Homo-oligomer: A and B are copies of this chain.
Amino acid sequence: MQAGHPFSRLLLRLERSSVLSDADRRQIANLPFKIINCPARSDIVSRGYAPSGSNLVLDGLLFSYKTVSGAGRQITSFFIPGDIAGLATLYLPIADHSIASVGPAVLAFVPHAALQQTIETSAVLAQALWRETLMQGAIFHEQIANVGRRDAFARLAHIVCELALRLRAKRPTRDCSFAMPCTQRQIADACGISAVHANRVIQELRRLGLLDWDSGRLKFTT
């Protein structure tokens, strides 16, 4: 990940929609944290447990999911660097969903107590963090519509495009390509379709010359 303080990316994110004072910036910068080097595909939060903090993603890709008895798991959303995963447990102690890593990831674990204190100290930061949870909620909304109403082709395209947009928002590339660490299996779980069918849809997208996805790199071929 980039050089500099672990929270620099979070600050940038928050300042995109809030006006922070110097005190606010200091407040964030002084947040206690613990760097966690997280191996590939490992659980970070397990449903039913009460984590004592939230995880700021510094590098890598996380996803939240639910397992449905007898029907595998459904990935509900992805967390990219700059996102805070597990913010919901700030005020809803028991996690209602699990969070796991796609590839190896670097996280900054921030205790709830510290976040709560920050929120009580600065109304602006409270608002900014609240907004973060609301934006995650908006992504859920979209995901419900996506999974509920679109066919496999549109679902997969939608999810890939969403990831591309969010990732490219932070690091635009000339050739419309980006690192795509997910396996087809994971994309299938996010789309609510079987892995086999996801594979066929991806091949169809390739055949139509819409995308080129190979060895962890995905490229839109206009």
Contacts and interface: CB of A to CB of B under 8 A. Distances in A.
Contacts of A150: 68, 71
Main secondary structure of the interface of A (DSSP, over half): helix
Contact of A68 (B88, B91, B119, B149): B149
A147 interface: yes
B91 A138 contact: no
Interface in A113-162: 119-120, 123, 126-127, 130-131, 133-138, 140-145, 147-150
A92 interface: yes
A5 to B, nearest CB: 26
A76 B136 CA distance: 15
A190 to B, nearest CB: 8
Number of copies: 2
B147 A92 contact: no
Given A91-B130, A149-B68, A74 B144 contact: yes
A96 interface: yes
Contacts of A216: none
Interface residues of A, number: 39
B147 A91 contact: no
A127 B91 contact: yes
A141 B97 contact: yes
A144 B142 contact: no
A4 interface: no
Interface in A26-74: 64, 66, 68, 71-74
13 contacts: A66-B141, A68-B145, A68-B149, A90-B134, A91-B127, A91-B130, A92-B138, A97-B141, A130-B133, A133-B134, A137-B137, A140-B140, A148-B192
Interface of A: 64, 66, 68, 71-74, 76, 88, 90-92, 96-97, 119-120, 123, 126-127, 130-131, 133-138, 140-145, 147-150, 191-192
